[in-house]
């Protein structure tokens, strides 16, 4: 496996905050908070029976390793269902409820693009399962979602190549639930920058 391939699960992190992606991918930071712990517990439950709803004849494969050398990503699908006609459907399990952002959809779409490259079959749709509301949401891999996914991956690659930590997110509400808050210190850094500016006057 090419180690230069970016982990596709970090598409989600990058879409949330590029600085968070940097900490996790480049600096290897992973601090467990309640949100992360719930996510790990949810993913562990995926590997018990009962979370896949299968029609007759559908084969379910769990923890499927996927990659795309074209896109430069690799990762693991929680579940891939194969229908009797050979259609592949990736399913990703998430803790919490569906959010307003399309980062979950982009991560799932990256899995589909990998499956397409690996198998030569088209993968038209997938599902996101949210433990918070126990809902399975269909995601159609439209040309727009495919383009957004490719754009996010290219932005991640540019960030790594640039070699500089991205600035704090301007959407500060996201910092409140971020497990890397104590590493990143967004408020303290903002105050420090303000006082440094004041000292220059």
Please give the residue ranges that form the binding site for ligand SF4 (CB under 6 A). 17, 19-20, 23, 168-169, 174-175, 178, 180-181, 184, 186
- Could you give the CA distance from residue 82 to residue 177 in angstroms, rounded to a whole number? 36
Least distance to ligand SF4 from the beta carbon of 190, Å?
10
- Could you give the CA distance from residue 136 to residue 147 in angstroms, rounded to a whole number? 24
Least distance to ligand SF4 from the beta carbon of 121, Å?
37
List Cβ<8 Å contacts ≥24 apart for 39-48.
39/94, 39/95, 41/95, 42/93, 42/94, 42/95, 42/131, 43/78, 43/93, 45/131, 46/78, 46/79, 46/93
C-beta of 55 vs 173, nearer to ligand SF4: 173
C-beta of 114 vs 178, nearer to ligand SF4: 178
C-beta of 29 vs 82, nearer to ligand SF4: 29
C-beta of 61 vs 191, nearer to ligand SF4: 191
Q: Are 111 and 148 in contact (CB under 8 A)?
A: no
Least distance to ligand SF4 from the beta carbon of 115, Å?
30
Least distance to ligand SF4 from the beta carbon of 25, Å?
12
């Amino acid at each position: 496996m090419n180690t230069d391939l970016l982990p596709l699960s970090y598409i989600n992190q990058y879409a949330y905050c590029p600085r968070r992606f940097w900490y996790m991918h480049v600096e290897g930071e992973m601090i467990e908070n309640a949100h992360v712990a719930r996510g790990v517990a949810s993913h562990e439950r995926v590997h018990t029976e009962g979370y896949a709803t299968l029609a007759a004849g559908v084969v379910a494969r769990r923890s499927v390793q996927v990659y795309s050398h074209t896109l430069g990503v690799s990762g693991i699908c929680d579940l891939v269902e194969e229908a009797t006609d050979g259609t592949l459907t990736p399913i990703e399990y998430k803790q919490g409820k569906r959010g307003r952002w399309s980062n979950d959809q982009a991560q799932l779409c990256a899995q589909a693009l990998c499956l397409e490259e690996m198998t030569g079959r088209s993968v038209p749709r997938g599902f996101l399962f949210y433990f918070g509301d126990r809902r399975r949401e269909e995601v159609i891999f439209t040309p727009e979602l495919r383009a957004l996914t490719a754009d996010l991956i290219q932005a991640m690659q540019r960030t790594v190549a640039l070699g500089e930590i991205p600035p704090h997110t301007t959407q500060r509400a996201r910092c409140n639930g971020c497990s890397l808050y104590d590493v990143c210190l967004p408020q303290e850094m903002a105050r420090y920058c303000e006082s440094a500016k004041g000292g220059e006057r």
